[in-house]
Amino acid sequence: MDFSLVLSNLLNPPVLFFFLGMLAVFVKSDLEIPPPIPKLFSLYLLLAIGFKGGVELANSGITQPVILTILAAIGMSLLVPIYTFFILRTRLDAYNSAAIAATYGSISAVTFITASSFLNALEIPYDGYMVAALALMESPAIIIGLILVKLFARGMEGGDRTEPINWADVLQEAFLNGSVFLLVGSLLIGYLTGEQGWHTLKPFVQDMFYGVLTFFLLDMGLVAAKRIQDLQKTGVFLIGFALIAPPVNATLGLLLARAIALSPGDALLFAVLCASASYIAVPAAMRLTVPEANPSLYISSALAVTFPFNIIVGIPLYQYEIALLWQGNLS
């Protein structure tokens, strides 16, 4: 692997601010971000990336590559939670296995945004319609996680879950939770307004974007460092899973991206979507629908291990795999 790519990614200002946040916790600084601000910035990032993706989708049109990419994205969001569930089930109960599997079948929008920044720095083009894949990979993983609970929790846990799952609540949480709703809604608005809408909102959704991302990653560094303590209760197994699952899922995603002839830039974003894990939408859904699962397991593994791994090592690693699979053609 070209370690200059790793260095380039590490010296990206938003990533450095992520480490600054972690350092603040390790040295016991009193640095703190007031709770409403990270939530606001999270909503802003979803709005901006969704709107920009909608504009790009309007420019490109709904073509065969767009449809194939969306189908591949949905396929991976269905496959990953199923196979990871059975791996996790070797050491964990069905509730925690399903919750963690759903978390890893879903995506991290901030990891996707960081990968976009990485591609911009390398001047590698990519298509805005990849945001459509991002928007559609959240809900299927939640539904699969709940189906796994329905199928395996009662039989394998001695029948301790006797009440039926309220599927109306599940579907509402999967498709109408705040993150998914704002992302899909912004995508549609960007698609409907096109270039005219882009010129209207450009100062808001582009010029401010990296400043907000930097501040958000500072807060993520603070949260991730605090969550590391929770992982001490899980032992080596879950930490190892949180480190091994991302490159395995990314490799599966890259093979699929190669099969449907994605460009190298789009392939990296697709790999990052496959490799990342949700720490916002899916945990919220799991807390509501699978209260038997321990949130410290699925939130900590995603946020304290997988998220830093992807933004430090994963993105350059997946780019190196692309250089091999695409025979070094990065144009």
Cα separation, 275 vs 107, whole angstroms? 8
Residue with tokens 């608005």: 189
80-129 confidence digits (pLDDT tens): 999 999 999 999 999 999 999 999 999 888 899 889 988 988 889 998 88
- Residue spans per domain, the chain: 3-325
**pTM listed for this prediction:** 0.82
What is the reported pLDDT for 149?
A: 85
17-21, 162-166, 193-197, 316-320: lowest mean pLDDT where? Answer: 162-166
Residue that the structure tokens 């307004």 belong to = 193
- May I ask the CATH class of domain 3-325? mainly alpha
Residue 113 has, within 13 A of its CA and on its CB side, a CA count of 25
For the residues 203-216, what does the mean pLDDT come to? 86
Compute the average pLDDT of residues 299-306.
88
Q: How confident is the model at residue 165 (pLDDT cuts 50, 70, 90)?
A: low
CA dihedral 236, 237, 238, 244 (to 10 degrees): 100
Calpha distance 94→86 (Å, rounded): 9
Mean pLDDT of 70-86: 95
Pair 115, 269: CB distance under 8 Å: yes
Q: What pLDDT digit, counting tens, does each position of 126-139 carry?
A: 988 888 888 888 78
Dist CA 217 CA 220 (whole Å): 5
Helices (H) and strands (E) in the chain, counts: 17, 0
Q: What is the pLDDT of residue 250?
A: 97
